[in-house]
Amino acid sequence: MTTEGGRLVAEALAAALYDVAEALRTDAAEAPPQPARRGDGNRVGERAGRSLGSMSTRAMSEAAAAIAAAVVPAIVERIDVNALLAKVDVDALVSRIDVNRILDTVDVDELVGRVDMAALAREALEGIDLGEIIQDSTASIATDTLEAIRIQAMRADGLLARIVDLPLRRRGRQTALAPRGRAR
């Protein structure tokens, strides 16, 4: 324990002892005065014991609280939480939890009933730009359609060429362009 921690504990103990002494003094003041007789020492001890025993609950609580207030922070300050957590087997801990049992205790209908679905839907729709989505999807459909038409036309070109070339006994066509400067 550090010097600071020791000091705090000492202070707490002193405060507690003070509280005990104060309680004793109060009890003594409330008791009626007795003449001193032989064996009074023992009786004083007995009285102190009784005083301690009859110490008010409030005083004891205050004393305990004073000790706790001083000691606990000092102890907590000394604890290495990371080291503590490293010793904990989280997997084992989690495996001991019965999730289904926990879920059984949850009333989903009531939970859902508490949610303002209309407001939630409204908020979700506000966050979505429907116009842009429709525009994008429309453009995409148009592009895909156009592309499909072009490809079909290309295939039809090839098919027609093959049909025409068959009786003419041709082996394909010269569809590539001549390089620049060699065009006839």
Shortest Å, Cβ 166 to another protein: 12
Query: Closest CB to another protein among 7 and 173?
Result: 173
**Residue pointed to by tokens 């001549």:** 178
- The three-class DSSP label of residue 12 is helix
Quote the DSSP letter at residue 178.
P
Query: Are 27 and 51 in contact, with CB atoms under 8 Å apart?
Result: yes
Query: Closest CB to another protein among 50 and 150?
Result: 150
Query: Closest CB to another protein among 96 and 184?
Result: 184
Structural tokens at position 48: 């102190």
Shortest Å, Cβ 137 to another protein: 16
Shortest Å, Cβ 132 to another protein: 20
Q: How far is the C-alpha of 157 from the C-alpha of 174, rounded, in Å?
A: 13
Q: How far is the C-alpha of 51 from the C-alpha of 48, rounded, in Å?
A: 5
Summarize as ranges the residues that interact with another protein (CB under 8 A): 143, 146-147, 149-151, 153-158, 160-161, 164, 168, 170, 172-184
Phi/psi region, residue 55 (left: phi>0; alpha: psi -120 to 50; beta: rest), is beta
Query: Closest CB to another protein among 10 and 141?
Result: 141
Shortest Å, Cβ 150 to another protein: 5
